[in-house]
A = this chain, B = another copy of it.
Amino acid sequence: MTTTDSKPAENGVNVQALLDAREVLKGAPEAAQFTWRATSSWKDGVASTTKIQNFFGLGQEQQHKVESVFDADHPEVFAANDTAITPIEYLLVGLAGCLTAGVASVAQNRGIQLRSVEATIEGAHDIRGILGADPDVRNGFNDIKVKFNIDADASKQEIEALVAQSQKRSAVFDALTNPTDITVEVA
């Protein structure tokens, strides 16, 4: 949907601060090194609780205003208690949040007023991998599909360009489409 509107776009994103940060960090790469942290505890069965508050960035310790607590479990069809969502579903939460934030940021930068941004995400998963039923089946998703439904003061083509640019700069999109080294050690 496209309308003409003389008011400047206001999507609530402080784009100028982000553009300024980009310029500053070009000359201060050490300040751009962030560390995100989580601590988790096993509860019982396949259920656990993970807490997030502290992180490191801009050369010093930082913290979110509040500690956030997330439970994970597995569904009854996995012979578990379904007290919370499955760990792999948290990846979809991260992907949705990251692409949506990108759409809002790029829209603000391009002067496009958003009215609504909805996304549906589906991750296909062959559970024979994690069960060890077939060594040729991978453990993770087969693929992920994201569909955006966006109402904005822009053409379909402009909206598609917003989404494309969001993908191009998305931390989570990159983390899922490209490999990352993970080291696991026992204290």
Which residues from chain A sit less than 8 Å from chain B, CB to CB? 11-14, 17-18, 21-23, 25-26, 29, 32-42, 44-48, 50, 52, 55, 57-58, 62, 64-65, 68, 70, 72, 74-75, 77-80, 82, 84-101, 103-105, 114, 116-134, 137-150, 156, 159-160, 163, 167, 169-187
Q: Please tell me if the beta carbons of B86 and A36 are within 8 angstroms of each other in the complex.
A: yes
Contact of A116 among B42, B62, B129, B180 (CB under 8 A): B42
Q: Please tell me if the beta carbons of B96 and A50 are within 8 angstroms of each other in the complex.
A: yes
A75 to B62: give the CA distance in the assembly, Å. 9
Minimum C-beta distance from A158 to chain B (A) = 10
Contact status of A93 and B139, CB under 8 A, knowing A18-B79, A46-B105? no
Name A117's closest neighbour in chain B (CB-CB): B42
A167 to B99: give the CA distance in the assembly, Å. 28
A23 to B40: give the CA distance in the assembly, Å. 32
Contact of A181 among B23, B52, B122, B177 (CB under 8 A): B177
A72 to B74: give the CA distance in the assembly, Å. 22
